A and B are shown apart, each in its own frame.
Chain A
Amino acid sequence: MRDYIIRRVLGMIPLILIVMIVSFGIFSLVPNPFAALIENPRIKRSDIQRLVKAWGFDLPWYLRFFKWFSGVIRGDWGPSLLYPGSTARDVIARRLPVTMRVMGLELLVSLVIALPIGIISAVKQYSMTDYVVTIFSFLGMSMPSFWLGLMMMMLFSVVLKRPSGVPLLPAGGIITPGLEQAPFWVKLGDRAQYLVMPVFVLSFLSIGYYARYMRSSMLEVVRQDYIRTARAKGVPERSVINKHALRNAMIPIVTLIALSVPGIVGGAAITETIFNIPGMGSLIIQAEIKADYPTAMIGLMLSSVLVIVFNLVADIVYAWVDPRIKYS
């Protein structure tokens, strides 16, 4: 098992390099952002040429890659083009915690709700509960996030108000200005109210997806012979489900969860925009449009590395849940 993990980790290095080169290459298709400056008569040609040279846009993409990469191995990811004066790393560092907070909560809330309702829905297949769960699952999966977000905002930030006249929930942002000196729990409570709507919207969209997965995995398991064996030896129905069925039904869910975790750093561009959250999703899209390759590459590499790492995590957890799987 240890050897297997070491082998897999070593195998990640070339994979990450390839991802890096390919995404950088694709990125070079974004036009040189300085070319348009030529049309501006107030900017000197020599200044433009200096900028183009400094950013490496005078070089073919692979040479630009090497220039950038030689910095990366020294820990220097380059300056941000989008936010002049900041390094790309600082730009990401400002955004990442915000996104991880929203997306982490979203994943947690979705799983905590979706897995139990998926199980109940399978155990009581074709019951009223099952139909309600199914309807809400599909409703969530087909819901446009911007519409739901706007409707929630209308309700909780415009229609519903506290006795003091302040909206029940803030319409957007992540923190109320002027609370820097407030005690810790006040700040925590303040942040929490900004999170309610975005986390609800994102969870509502994904609960159905996880619940349907859990349901079908559970349905597959409860009709297996060993479930009948468990019943035949007098196991109470509750432990037939919780002990005998669930552990088997979780095997495919492990992959699903492991592959969802990298989403925590990716952000959700549309929801972030609606609720005015300075997160990764909107940042990376802007960086890509504006050819801010140092910033965009950090975002891409974060996601890729997490996808690769959590694939390995999924494989390790597999072996732990399913004794039939052995790595050597």
Chain B
Amino acid sequence: MDNREVLVDIKNLRTFFYTEDGVVPAVDGIDLTIHRGEVVGLVGESGCGKSVTALSIIRLIPNPPGKIIGGEIFFHGEDLLKKNEEDMRVIRGDKISMIFQEPMTSLNPVYTIGDQISEAITLHQKIDAAEAKKRTIEMIRLVGIPEPERRFSQYPHEMSGGMRQRVMIAMALSSNPDLLISDEATTALDVTIQAQILDLMRGLQKKLGMAILIITHNLAVVAEMAETIAIAYAGKIVENASAKEIFKSPRHPYTYGLLQSIPKFTEKKTNEPLPAIEGMVPSPYHMPKGCRFNPRCPFATEKCREEEPEILELTPGHLVRCFHPIES
């Protein structure tokens, strides 16, 4: 249904952490497809494996304790998990870039932002220092930072969180990547700055045409940005569909629960408490038997407690991992 070329194809990715207390299956069979120029949202609660998925794509899982133990990540048709470290390094920051949650600590405090952006440029492009500086200033201007020439020689501590995140974006996009991974990039910012950064990302995506994988726990963020949304729960994708479908007719009880718990300002004021998903995220050391969502699911049956559901395409482009999907 999407005729665009497949850019990233993650198949049955499994990344486990081997800790002193036991094995944590942070990512346990995630499948995800990102097309060229597509904006995909990966949504889930803390600990559902969304950040680990992102770090697995660029192969920056801290090892030990983490290890990718299975699956394939095809990027332009080549399996990234089969590449050696040097080949991966060349891809990082060039074809695949990533921005992180904490703008306050993600930039090196002892180098100027100009240094840090032009480093990213000279690492991947054969250009001289003067040219790199010109490109850097262009990038600083592109991400909407005023007075780029002056900012070039400033240090991160001289900038606000929103400005630093813009610097991170400039750095990430400096080599025109095919894929930008945004790992909770707006979570630490206050709401108005968050909106500005999302606007910026959307604008740049239109201009530069890269695909974006937006990782967030915030449904509002993906509602604004993503064409396709994947909902992750306890290390697995439970529902994957176009953004429209997800918001209009969620099929998985977990997705349904998430959407129900968003306050709606259009409705009349009531004194009813906001609906919430009962229970807690399962402990990664003791995953429930059967469907991982079954202890919290209002529709769970005996089958859900015994067997693990496969992810199935219920309607074209709408994948759900559930025995009893909600009728649309």
Q: Which residues on A are within 8 Å of B, measured CB to CB?
A: 224-226, 228-237, 244, 247-248, 321-324
Asked whether, in the complex, the Cβ of B92 is within 8 Å of the Cβ of A323, the reply is no
- SS class, residues of chain A in contact with chain B: helix
- Whether A323 pairs with B155 at a CB distance below 8 angstroms is yes
Q: A231-B92, A232-B92, A323-B155 are in contact. Are A225 and B110 (CB under 8 A)?
A: no
B157 cross-chain contacts in A, Cβ below 8 A: 323-324
Q: Is B322's CB within 8 Å of the partner chain A?
A: no
The number of residues on chain B lying at the interface, defined by a beta carbon within 8 Å of a beta carbon of chain A, is: 30
**Does A322 contact B109, Cβ atoms closer than 8 Å?**
yes
CA distance A321 to B89 in the complex (A): 28
User: CA separation between A124 and B112, bound complex, in Å?
Assistant: 29
Of the listed stretches B66-74, B119-127, B202-210, B216-224, chain A binds B119-127
Q: What 9 new A-B contacts, CB under 8 Å, besides A225-B106, A232-B93? A: A226-B107, A226-B109, A229-B106, A229-B107, A229-B168, A229-B171, A232-B58, A233-B172, A324-B157
Q: Which of B92-108 contact A (CB under 8 A)?
A: 92-94, 97-98, 100, 102, 105-108
Instruction: Find out whether the CB atom of B108 lies under 8 angstroms from the CB atom of A233.
Output: no
Q: How far is the CA of A224 from the CA of B89 in the complex (A)?
A: 19
Chain B contacts for A234, CB-based, 8 A: 89-94, 120, 123-124
Is there a chain A Cβ closer than 8 Å to B326's Cβ?
no
CA–CA, A18 and B119, complex, Å? 51
Closest-by-CB residue of A relative to B104 is A225
A-binding residues in B (CB < 8 A)? 58, 60, 85, 89-94, 97-98, 100, 102, 105-112, 119-120, 123-124, 155, 157, 168, 171-172
Instruction: Give the CA-CA distance A324 to B154 in the complex, in Å.
Output: 11
Interface pairs (17), CB distance under 8 Å:
A225-B100, A228-B100, A232-B60, A232-B93, A233-B97, A233-B119, A234-B89, A234-B90, A234-B123, A235-B123, A237-B85, A247-B110, A247-B111, A248-B108, A322-B109, A323-B110, A324-B109
In the complex formed, the residue of B with least CB distance to A248 is: B110
Shortest distance from the beta carbon of B109 to any chain A beta carbon, whole Å: 6
Q: Cβ of B90: which chain A residues have Cβ within 8 Å of it?
A: 234
